[in-house]
């Protein structure tokens, strides 16, 4: 509301922050050119004793009335005391009054949470200073007073200036990687306002646990603790004496632990070093020894079918590690894995052979992911078998076999080959690659070389394939078609998947493990390692192969 006495009117005056300008204006009925005296006086003083008020409590000025009877005058408040003031406008004996508050500068720092060294410290606050005013913020070690801040080294002090936003807020970020951990104060200053807050920069902790010797080929775990936040990445360097290093990472867990697994496959035996780092901090180096995997398998004598196969050897292992023994028949689909018992560096395994096909076997012995050692032996029949014959042992359930050579015309039908096999009323099946459909065979069907057949047996049963004499058969080949095909190896020698499928655009070759009742992938075209195209395929075993287009195998 305007303040007046009908002859002089003072427009309403809004309170201001100290240092701002007070704009006092109004109107009057007095003629143009009249002189108006305006006093800004702390309310502790009356108008009558205004001249006794100090300059920090009293300002006075005069202004000439304009043609439109308006008047205007500015008062700077930088040198005044804050508080309630009265405004007096006087011409002669006529006086009008108004009130205004000069508000002190206000500056607030919002609470600051303690942080870990290396984190970004965000400091925010508010002020009643207007947009664009500058807030100066100092991060200062508690070892120094504010007056001593300019003597503090860079590792003990950070400083920044920031502008006040339109809503009176301000914020500044400090990176704490390069300053010392400890107790700190935050000082913020704008105009005549100054405030401070306490907080702590905690040291970053990072540990890496000792690692026992690792056998070459094994994986080992690198682990430790840190006080860094959950989800942050710990970086691990693993290197040898030549400084050839490999980098790994691990995420910090909610309990402050971290870990990652490192493989030693392809690494040389010897001494290695490891250290961990996070947010610019690193641990001391720890030593790790990669020692050679020493494993052996003793020679194995040929075993008569039905006898117990005894396999043994030595290894630098303990009972917490696994020795795997794999038996692979070179003449059938038989493939089995066993875990051998390890005691004080020795291992042994006894395997029944009653359901194992007669033929040549390889024993692969490996320690976890270590390099395999091999020996060969044969399971021999109680009676000798002619070179013009091939005995295939069927196990209980479905068997997937192939015919490796042209059968003798006296025994080349399904009925003659599988005579005496109890099929439990299951049909004899094959798969037509051209139509991509299953095909049920009659008893009079002639079984063809390089074709896979499915036969169900209710018991373990040996069947004998009788071949045409050498020199009386034509070269063997088989057409394959886009999609899945059943195939087999031509002849009684092993071959690689690559050589068997030369000239065709194949993708994958698999076989049926009749003992495990599951499919096993043999090779993938273009693969390396476990599915290499150099992996062997064996006579009399049925295989599925997926072809990208029509072709022919030989």
User: Please, which pLDDT band fits residue 332 given cuts at 50, 70 and 90?
Assistant: low
In this predicted structure, the answer to whether residue 150 has a pLDDT above a threshold of 90 is yes
Cβ atoms of 278 and 235 within 8 Å: the answer is yes
User: Please, which pLDDT band fits residue 195 given cuts at 50, 70 and 90?
Assistant: very high
Q: What is the mean pLDDT of the chain?
A: 89
> What does the pLDDT read at residue 1?
39
pLDDT digits (tens, 9 = 90+) for 288-306: 999 887 888 888 888 877 7
In this predicted structure, the answer to whether residue 3 has a pLDDT above a threshold of 60 is no
| Separation CA 40–CA 15 (nearest Å) | 13
> What does the pLDDT read at residue 472?
56
- Asked whether the whole model's pTM tops 0.95, one would answer no
| Separation CA 416–CA 430 (nearest Å) | 17
**Mean local confidence (pLDDT), 126-137:** 95
- Tokens representing residue 194 in the block: 């100054």
In this predicted structure, the answer to whether residue 385 has a pLDDT above a threshold of 60 is no
Among 387, 365, 390, smallest CA distance to 376 is for: 365
In this predicted structure, the answer to whether residue 406 has a pLDDT above a threshold of 80 is yes
The CA radius of gyration of the chain, in Å to the nearest whole number, is 47
Among 377, 350, 370, smallest CA distance to 295 is for: 370
- Distance, C-alpha 341 to centroid of its chain: 36
* 417, containing H or E segment: helix 414-417
User: Please, which pLDDT band fits residue 244 given cuts at 50, 70 and 90?
Assistant: low
In this predicted structure, the answer to whether residue 180 has a pLDDT above a threshold of 60 is yes
In this predicted structure, the answer to whether residue 350 has a pLDDT above a threshold of 80 is yes
In this predicted structure, the answer to whether residue 399 has a pLDDT above a threshold of 70 is yes
- Tokens representing residue 433 in the block: 């690659």
> What does the pLDDT read at residue 357?
83
Cβ atoms of 517 and 397 within 8 Å: the answer is yes
> What does the pLDDT read at residue 471?
57
Among 368, 383, 260, 264, smallest CA distance to 323 is for: 368
Beta bridge partners of 117: none
User: Please, which pLDDT band fits residue 2 given cuts at 50, 70 and 90?
Assistant: very low
- Tokens representing residue 79 in the block: 């040198």
**Mean local confidence (pLDDT), 529-547:** 90
Instruction: Name the phi and psi angles at 390, rounded to 5.
Output: -140, 125
**Mean local confidence (pLDDT), 489-518:** 89
- Tokens representing residue 69 in the block: 């009877």
Among 13, 23, 28, 1, smallest CA distance to 90 is for: 28
> What does the pLDDT read at residue 435?
97
More confident residue, 319 or 350: 350
The rounded percent of the chain whose pLDDT value lies above 90 is: 66
> What does the pLDDT read at residue 4?
47
User: Please, which pLDDT band fits residue 368 given cuts at 50, 70 and 90?
Assistant: low
User: Please, which pLDDT band fits residue 310 given cuts at 50, 70 and 90?
Assistant: confident
> What does the pLDDT read at residue 320?
60
**Mean local confidence (pLDDT), 517-523:** 89
> What does the pLDDT read at residue 366?
81
- Tokens representing residue 303 in the block: 């075993």
Q: Is 132 left (phi over 0), alpha (psi -120 to 50) or beta?
A: left
User: Please, which pLDDT band fits residue 319 given cuts at 50, 70 and 90?
Assistant: low
* 497, containing H or E segment: helix 497-500
Listed in sequence order, the DSSP H helices in 29-97 are none
**Mean local confidence (pLDDT), 482-487:** 97
- Tokens representing residue 493 in the block: 């020698």
């Amino acid at each position: 509301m305007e303040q007046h006495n009908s002859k002089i009117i003072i427009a309403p005056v809004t309170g201001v922050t100290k240092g701002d300008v007070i704009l006092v204006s109004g109107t009057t009925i007095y003629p143009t050119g009249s002189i108006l005296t305006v006093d800004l006086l702390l309310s502790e003083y009356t108008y009558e004793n205004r001249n006794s008020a100090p300059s920090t409590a009293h300002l006075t000025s005069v202004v000439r009335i304009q043609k439109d009877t308006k008047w205007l005058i500015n008062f700077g408040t930088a040198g005044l005391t804050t508080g309630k003031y009265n405004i007096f406008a006087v011409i002669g004996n006529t006086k009008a009054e108004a009130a205004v508050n000069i508000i002190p500068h206000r500056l607030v720092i919002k609470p600051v949470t303690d942080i870990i060294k290396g984190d970004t410290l965000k400091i925010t606050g508010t002020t009643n200073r207007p947009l664009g005013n500058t807030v100066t913020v100092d991060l200062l070690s508690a070892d120094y007073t504010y007056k001593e801040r300019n003597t503090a080294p860079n590792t003990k002090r950070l400083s920044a200036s920031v502008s006040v936003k339109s809503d009176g807020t301000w914020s500044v970020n400090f990176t704490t990687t390069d300053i010392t951990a400890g107790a700190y104060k935050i000082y913020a200053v704008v105009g005549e306002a100054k405030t401070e807050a306490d907080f702590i920069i905690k040291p970053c902790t990072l540990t890496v646990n000792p690692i026992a010797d690792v056998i070459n080929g094994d994986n080992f775990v690198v682990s430790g603790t840190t006080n860094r936040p959950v989800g942050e990445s710990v970086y691990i360097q693993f290197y040898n004496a030549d400084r050839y290093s490999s980098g790994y990472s691990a995420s910090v867990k909610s309990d402050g632990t971290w870990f990652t697994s490192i493989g030693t496959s392809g690494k040389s035996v010897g001494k290695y070093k490891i250290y961990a780092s996070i947010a610019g901090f690193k641990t001391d180096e720890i030593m790790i020894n990669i020692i050679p995997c020493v494993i052996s398998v003793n020679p194995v004598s040929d075993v008569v079918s039905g006898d117990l196969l005894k396999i043994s050897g030595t290894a630098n292992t303990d009972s917490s590690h696994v020795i795997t023994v794999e038996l692979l028949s070179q003449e059938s689909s038989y493939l089995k894995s066993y875990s051998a018992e390890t005691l004080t560096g020795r291992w042994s395994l006894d395997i029944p052979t009653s359901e194992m096909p007669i033929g040549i076997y390889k024993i692969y012995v490996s320690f976890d992911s270590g390099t395999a050692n091999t020996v060969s032996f044969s399971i021999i029949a109680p009676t000798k078998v002619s070179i013009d014959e091939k005995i295939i042992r069927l196990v209980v359930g479905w068997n997937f076999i192939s015919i490796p050579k042209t059968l003798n015309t006296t025994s080349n039908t399904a009925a003659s080959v599988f005579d005496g096999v109890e099929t439990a009323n299951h049909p004899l099946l094959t798969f037509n690659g051209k139509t991509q459909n299953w095909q049920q065979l009659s008893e009079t069907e002639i079984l063809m070389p390089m074709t896979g057949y499915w036969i169900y047996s209710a018991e373990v049963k040996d069947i004998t394939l009788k071949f045409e004499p050498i020199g009386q058969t034509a070269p063997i080949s088989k057409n394959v078609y886009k999609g899945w095909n059943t195939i087999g190896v031509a002849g009684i020698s092993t071959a690689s998947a690559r050589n068997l499928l030369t000239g065709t655009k194949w993708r994958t070759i698999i076989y049926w493990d009749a003992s495990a009742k599951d499919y096993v992938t043999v090779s993938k075209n273009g693969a390396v390692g476990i599915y290499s195209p150099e992996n062997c395929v064996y006579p009399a075993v049925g295989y599925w192969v997926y072809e990208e287009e029509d072709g022919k195998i030989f």
